[in-house]
């Protein structure tokens, strides 16, 4: 089985094991960016602002 972990991953795992308060803060702060609930008005505004995609992305016209 392939169990390689990079030096960075090893460092982060050790740091989070040595500082459990950081792991808790990480979970709490995740909600600021990723676990956001949008209301229906915001979702409708985002859908209305969406621009149609061109058939060929690299066309300059």
Q: What is the DSSP string of 31-46?
A: HHHTSPPPPHHHHHHH
Here the tokens at position 15 are: 């740091």
Mean pLDDT of the 14-30 span: 91
pLDDT at residue 9 is higher than 90: yes
Inform me whether the pLDDT recorded for 33 exceeds 70. Answer: yes
The yes-or-no verdict on residue 1 having pLDDT over 70 is no
Per-residue confidence (pLDDT) for residue 7, from 0 to 100: 97
Torsion angle of the four alpha carbons 36, 39, 44, 49, in this order, in degrees rounded to the nearest 10: -40
- What was the pLDDT predicted at 11? 97
Given a cut of 80, is residue 4 above it in pLDDT? yes
């Amino acid at each position: 089985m392939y169990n390689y972990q990079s030096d960075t991953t090893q460092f982060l795992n050790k740091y989070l094991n040595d500082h459990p308060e950081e792991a808790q803060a990480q979970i709490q702060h995740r909600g600021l960016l990723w676990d956001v609930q949008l209301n229906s008005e915001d979702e409708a505004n985002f859908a209305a602002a969406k621009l149609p995609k061109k058939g060929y992305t690299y066309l300059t016209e």
